[in-house]
Structure 1
Amino acid sequence: MLAPYACQPGASRGRLHTERMSSFRSPFQRDRDRIIHSSAFRRLKHKTQVFVEHEGDYYRTRLTHSIEVAQVARTIAGVLGLNTDLAECIALAHDLGHTPFGHTGEDALEALMAPYGGFDHNAQAIRIVTRLERHYAEFDGLNLTWEALEGIAKHNGPLTGPFADEKHAGALPYALAEANAAWDLELHTFASAEAQVAAIADDVAYSHHDLHDGLRSGLFNERDLMDLPVTGPAFEAVDALYPGLDPMRRRHEALRRVFGRMVEDVIAVAQGRLEAARPQSVDDIRAMEGTIIRFSKPLYQELKVIRSFLFHRMYRAPSVMVERAKVTQVVNDLFPLFMARPDLLPGEWRVDVAAMSDETAVARLVADYVSGMTDRFALQEHARLCGGV
């Protein structure tokens, strides 16, 4: 039984293009399945999370990260009486718009696209699921439900209005503005609780697995984590229970406690806030003046310390910065090359360019192509067309 404030499949606002209902799947299950079977989702296998995809087989990629986010989202949503299928759907889709080379690639493409309306990976995810996936006979995109699109668009909060984050104070990214013009996603309100769960699940997943990947990479060690909040007590608890434990088992036991602490905190806070607010519908959730799903203030402050540590010791580590410079050059070379020589694009992309006379339209198509590349394909194309870095 779903809670009254959950998104009810039978009350969905439907799809932009009308389709017959499935006889054995709910609308949100169908959304999830379409995302899993999409080309963009498969490409996440070879896209960077932190380390460039080819640097090691054990590091997270965007695909494994998305799967971990979906697992956390299902767990939290299930405990809170929310629609687990919708929470999972949004979690699986939240990174579809990422460029090759993670945030480094996005930073480069955002700068290159500044004259043409900018670039934002979240808006690009909406562009992918509404336009760029072209497999169905009757429509472009995946024709997801309104609730799925809303969740992908604003799982991190409102994008317009008084509660919008400062980051979104300017004009909407063109990809999102176009989708919203076609179907109003009510960007001034908060998203459903399911979308909020997907957003917090993203924070839980990367806070946990970046510690794990950082340790595996050797950028820091367990001794470093003993001095941090949350991680230090977790290692101490393992040492008390299992003295002399094998180092790899010790690491896993400690980090699973960090993971559990975050999930349990989110659930406890959400239960308390839901009990206090007593929302009777998903629209009550949307109309609130803040998120219902969040970390407690004490844990949030502790996680800020951990994220600062990761920023300096991992995301901006000298070896990582060397790689960032290399892959930034790849994007900086490929984008202007395709702008100047659209004949170098694959045949199906050249067909679209041939019908364009506007430079902005061409730039947005080139951004679609470059952002859709995997790490390995971007490196291969750069080596073929530019001689490598």
Structure 2
Amino acid sequence: MTALYASDPTVIRGRLVPEEESVFRSPFQRDRDRIIHSSAFRRLKHKTQVFVAHEGDYFRTRLTHSIEVAQVARTIAGALGLNGELTEAVALAHDLGHPPFAHAGEDTLNGLMAPYGGFDHNAQAVRIVTALERHYAAFDGLNLTWETLEGLAKHNGPVTGALPYALADYNARHDLELHTHASAEAQVAALSDDIAYNNHDLHDGLRARLFTDDEIAKLPIVGDSYAEVDRLYPGLDPKRRRHEALRRVFGVMVGDVIDCSRRALQEARPTSAAEVRYLGRPVIRFSTGLWEDLKQIRAFLFARMYRAPEVNAVRTRVHRVVTDLFPHYLNAPQHLPEEWRKDVAQARDQTALARLVSDYIAGMTDRFALQEHARLTGNPDLMPDAEGL
């Protein structure tokens, strides 16, 4: 049953370029389909989540992560009576703005772009779906609904202070009310992101042998899950034991969000999606106890995975790739692909050119960035070798 506070696809706030809506698909379903068919979504297949793609076919990429987030988000949205299509659209698009090489790539690009307005992957996602995707005859971007764009811009909460330029440019044309919270659907997508990466980073870290099952069994939630599996299936094959335990961790997090959010919504009693935005607080949330548990899990992952010596070695090498590519294109924009040169000719100043270069690099996959670096610098040393990058 659809809740009063769910986003209603029959009463949308429109698209920047008016279109006749589909007879067969709701506006939010149409948004989701356009996202799935976009070039940026396909490129997520070869963009890193934590490990560079060359380390093995079993580690998550941005694409598999986005699909997992969407699956969790649909489950939570359904349990809370929210619009599943809007939730899924935001979940599938939330990582479109990530550059190659995960957070290492973003940190490097943000530093290089500091004189030109910086780089923010959430703002870049909005820029991609409003400007950089160029396939439709009537408009640049995907011309998504206001509700989907709002969810992309502020699924992590209101955006205040100095706006990232990529977001400010669009917001000046199509006010996304950045000072308010997003819809409940977008809030679900944000927490589903937390659930997915906390769970699959434990799994990928184990597969990479950065830590052991016994070590993570000392963590909250995780330890109880392993204990339950051992009680129900004594002597289980280690790989099955791990899977059974981590899927229970997944279930605990999802169940907590559903239970806690139901209580928050019952207390707030919003009667429309608009009321959710103006409550002044999120209505989709973890319980205090589970949030504290997740802090411990994240601290463990930060120390043992995100800053592990093996991963830091990769960070150093990919930092070099992005650091070399950016000034190369800035000083020799004629080396950009032909389809980008019209934009180069129209760049008014160095800032406009730098933002164009940033757009191009941010759209690269890990593999293409490595190939371009080797081609342009004549230095193949940073390409994957027998030991992996």
Confirm or deny a common fold (TM above 0.5).
yes
Confirm whether residue 232 of structure 1 aligns to residue 223 of structure 2: yes
Hey, what does 2:338 align to over in structure 1? 347
SS in 1 for 2:118: coil
Hey, what does 2:49 align to over in structure 1? 49
Hey, what does 1:271 align to over in structure 2? 262
User: In the alignment, is the contact (CA less than 8 A) between 1:152 and 1:195 conserved in 2?
Assistant: yes
Confirm whether residue 362 of structure 1 aligns to residue 353 of structure 2: yes
User: In the alignment, is the contact (CA less than 8 A) between 1:123 and 1:176 conserved in 2?
Assistant: yes
**Structure 1 letter corresponding to 2:129:** V
Gaps of 5+ in 2: 383-389
- Per the TM alignment, residue 156 of structure 1 is displaced from its structure 2 partner at its CA by 0.2
Confirm whether residue 28 of structure 1 aligns to residue 32 of structure 2: no
User: In the alignment, is the contact (CA less than 8 A) between 1:2 and 1:8 conserved in 2?
Assistant: no
- Per the TM alignment, residue 357 of structure 1 is displaced from its structure 2 partner at its CA by 3.6
Hey, what does 1:302 align to over in structure 2? 293
TM-score scaled by structure 1? 0.97
Hey, what does 1:382 align to over in structure 2? 373
Question: Percent identity at matched positions?
Answer: 68
Distance in 2 (CA, whole Å) between partners of 1:254 and 1:363 is 47
Confirm whether residue 324 of structure 1 aligns to residue 315 of structure 2: yes
Residue 176 of structure 1 is aligned with which of 167, 172, 190? Answer: 167
User: In the alignment, is the contact (CA less than 8 A) between 1:97 and 1:125 conserved in 2?
Assistant: yes
- Per the TM alignment, residue 346 of structure 1 is displaced from its structure 2 partner at its CA by 0.4
User: In the alignment, is the contact (CA less than 8 A) between 1:86 and 1:148 conserved in 2?
Assistant: yes
SS in 1 for 2:19: coil
Q: Deviations over 1:135-176 (max 9, x none)?
A: 00010000000000000000000002xxxxxxxx4x100000
- Per the TM alignment, residue 355 of structure 1 is displaced from its structure 2 partner at its CA by 2.1
Distance in 1 (CA, whole Å) between partners of 2:342 and 2:363 is 18
- Per the TM alignment, residue 242 of structure 1 is displaced from its structure 2 partner at its CA by 0.6
SS in 2 for 1:182: coil
**Structure 2 letter corresponding to 1:93:** A
Runs of 4+, deviation exceeding 3 Å:
none
Q: Deviations over 1:34-53 (max 9, x none)?
A: 00000000000000000001
Task: Please report the RMSD computed on the Cα atoms of aligned residues, expressed in angstroms.
Answer: 0.7
Hey, what does 1:78 align to over in structure 2? 78
Distance in 2 (CA, whole Å) between partners of 1:172 and 1:283 is 23
- Per the TM alignment, residue 356 of structure 1 is displaced from its structure 2 partner at its CA by 2.1
- Per the TM alignment, residue 350 of structure 1 is displaced from its structure 2 partner at its CA by 1.5
TM-score scaled by structure 2? 0.97
Hey, what does 1:106 align to over in structure 2? 106
Hey, what does 2:189 align to over in structure 1? 198
Distance in 2 (CA, whole Å) between partners of 1:290 and 1:205 is 23
Gaps of 5+ in 1: 161-168
Hey, what does 1:163 align to over in structure 2? none
Q: Deviations over 1:49-107 (max 9, x none)?
A: 00001111000000000000000000000010000000000000000000000110000
